[in-house]
Chains A and B, each alone.
Chain A
């Protein structure tokens, strides 16, 4: 090498300079290489972290359905279009809701209880699967059918029930009726039922059309528009929005609402912590890399 350079008439001191220059550049490349390697390692760790975050978000998204009991108020005229009702219920089942209360004032859905229930019962589904020779996993729905007569009329019947129970012995009881007694009376006459978490109104107006008052106390009410223009996206959005709502009250079923809050808070805080870690880490590493590049 030296002989070659001598042959090329390059002076020795310039050779040393060139050597030093090359060494410096090599060191710089190696140093960058170290930094780059560190960055790549960090990127790989962050990538794993990012994947983990995405996994959590995905599971969170899949389990966004914290709606234990969903109610749907459908305008009676629109409820006559059963194909739309079937489609809507299928979407609801796909999202993961287990229990649905269907209400229309005139009882159209109640009259069509048979075909609707058959469509979503597990017995028929397994028959279908056997016939087709494929295993089909479908979510099943518990359906409740309610109409206007289950509202005010039911309360009147419950009042008569309470009268017979507490006044039939011939003496007038002095203590006032309580909410549990009323709930028991409604259950006894066949109009009991849980309070829905969320009530979706499918109709032209934001109006609950006489949904049983006793079961509407703290229910979130969302107007979805007419049934004919229903969309899967707006259904998911409504249910997702419900899960983000913080309720500022203490209900009579305080424990249940608190438990729901804890689930949401835990999941949300995990996601927030991981996201914060990811972005903070990202910012720090990039900053260090840039500083290192600039100083060299």
Chain B
């Protein structure tokens, strides 16, 4: 009986919270709403240490915080969200820590593609960005399954950066562009067009015409599935980007609240959006110039 009352009270509290959020978001929506917010989820291990939790408990608390933040973003009308789940640099951590993080990632990917998950509730399509070949087979297969399972969703997009760094992304794009140009040149040569020869070996002056341009590189970036982020939020007060979306963050507002990731809440998101709205015209002008 007490449990039923407790459950009902919990539901009422949730409805009230949801109603309050809708009111706040409707006020915020009067101004420009960011299209894409990216998160660097820093501070999970420190949170676990601070609260004397077991290893891995910090990351689990972080996952709950992430689900809440994504829910708030999609309710506000933010279409794209990107999260920095695991960097290539993180492979240098202790093997047992890497193993437990991978295990958690695998578990949470499986949770995400369940029917009743938040992802399906908000029509979220999932992408995994990064050098997925560096992941273990079970995690890589789970990631591919998640991408296929959510390919039919079209309301919002969640990009999960796994085995990702910006420098690796840039190198990958350069590699892909070079491969593409080689294939184009080879095809032209085989047709006997002659341009391919010029392209590959240079013109009469011995100079190679620049062929790869910025647009080609951007087409091959991992993060090409979404527009450039409007806000990057990094928790724990750290002021580095740590090799995350460096190419895409040219005209992006950087927000670094001094709280640990599991402590992030609705008010931090509201503050970030208000800051974005205050600087919107300036950032838009800079985007046009670039």
Check if B171 sits within 8 Å of A207, measured CB to CB.
no
Q: Which stretch, A135-143, A219-227, A262-270, A273-281, touches the partner chain B?
A: A219-227
Whether the pair B182, A182 counts as a contact (CB closer than 8 A) is no
**Of all chain A residues, which has the CB nearest B247?**
A213
Q: Which of A172, A205, A223 has the most CB of B within 10 A?
A: A205
Asked whether, in the complex, the Cβ of B247 is within 8 Å of the Cβ of A167, the reply is: no
Interface check A206, CB cutoff 8 A: yes
- Given A162-B178, A168-B200, A207-B286, CB of A182 within 8 Å of CB of B171: yes
Once the chains are docked, how many angstroms separate the CA of A182 from the CA of B165?
Answer: 15
Task: Note all chain B residues with C-beta closer than 8 A to A219.
Answer: 240-241
CA A238 – CA B252 in complex, angstroms?
Answer: 22
A contact residues around B14 at 8 Å (CB): none
**Given A105-B286, A207-B253, A209-B286 in contact, is the A214-B214 Cβ separation under 8 Å?**
no
Q: Is residue A184 within 8 Å, beta carbon to beta carbon, of the partner chain?
A: no
Query: Which A residues lie within 8 Å of B243 (CB)?
Result: 217-218
Chain B neighbourhood of A214, CB < 8 A? 167, 170, 246
Expressed in whole angstroms, the minimum distance between the Cβ of B24 and any Cβ of chain A is: 24
Chain A residues with Cβ below 8 Å from B182 are: 163, 167, 172
Residues of B contacting A170 in the complex (Cβ-Cβ under 8 angstroms): 200
Q: Is the CB of B212 within 8 A of A221?
A: no
> A105 — which chain B residues lie within 8 A by C-beta?
286, 289-290
Task: Please tell me the number of chain A residues within 8 Å of chain B, measured between CB atoms.
Answer: 45
The yes or no answer to A160 lying at the interface (CB within 8 A) is yes
- Give the nearest-CB partner of A249 in chain B: B89
* Contacts of B238-290 to chain A: CB distance below 8 A: 239-243, 246-247, 249-255, 279, 282-283, 286, 289-290
A207 touches B213 (CB 8 A): no
B279 touches A204 (CB 8 A): yes
CA distance A151 to B246 in the complex (A): 10
How far is it, in angstroms, between the C-alpha of A250 and the C-alpha of B279 when the chains are bound? 34
Q: Is A130 an interface position by the 8 A CB rule?
A: no
Complex contact A250–B174 (CB within 8 A): no
Closest A residue to B249 using CB positions: A208
Q: At the interface, yes or no: B105 with Cβ under 8 Å from chain A?
A: no
Give Cα A128 to B212, complex, Å: 49
Q: Tell me the complex Cα distance, A75–B289, Å.
A: 13
A159 interfacial by beta-carbon distance below 8 Å: yes
Question: What's the nearest-Cβ distance from chain A to residue B47, in Å?
Answer: 14
Q: How far is the CA of A265 from the CA of B259 in the complex (A)?
A: 25
**CB atoms of A250 and B89 under 8 A apart:** yes
**Contact assessment for B175 and A176 in the assembled complex, using a CB-CB cutoff below 8 Å:** yes
Q: In the complex the two chains form, is A159's CB within 8 Å of B217's CB?
A: yes
Q: How far is the CA of A24 from the CA of B81 in the complex (A)?
A: 85
Asked if B246 and A216 make an inter-chain contact with CB atoms under 8 angstroms apart, the answer reads yes
Quick one: which of A130-181 are within 8 Å of B by CB?
148, 151-153, 155-160, 162-164, 166-168, 170, 172, 176-179
Instruction: Tell me whether A207 and B241 are in contact in the complex, defined as CB-CB below 8 angstroms, given that A157-B210, A159-B177, A217-B246 are known contacts.
Output: no
Contact of A205 among B214, B240, B253, B289 (CB under 8 A): B253
A218 to B201, CA, bound (A): 38
Q: Does A159 contact B174, Cβ atoms closer than 8 Å?
A: yes
Q: Give B147 Cβ to nearest chain A Cβ, in Å.
A: 23
Q: With an 8 A cutoff between CB atoms, is A106 at the interface?
A: yes
Q: Does B4 contact A (CB under 8 A)?
A: no
Distance between B283 CB and nearest chain A CB, rounded to angstroms: 6
Q: Across the two chains, which residue of chain B brings its CB closest to A238?
A: B239
Contact flags (1/0) for B205-248 with A, using CB distance below 8 Å? 00010111110110000000000000000000001111100110
Chain B min CB distance to A120 (Å):
27
Contact assessment for A155 and B217 in the assembled complex, using a CB-CB cutoff below 8 Å = yes
Q: 5 A-B Cβ contacts within 8 A?
A: A153-B214, A172-B182, A176-B175, A205-B279, A208-B254
Q: Which A-B residue pairs are the 6 nearest by beta carbons?
A: A213-B246, A210-B250, A159-B174, A205-B279, A159-B212, A217-B243
Chain B interface (Cβ within 8 Å of chain A)? 89, 92, 165-167, 170-172, 174-175, 177-179, 181-182, 200-201, 208, 210-214, 216-217, 239-243, 246-247, 249-255, 279, 282-283, 286, 289-290
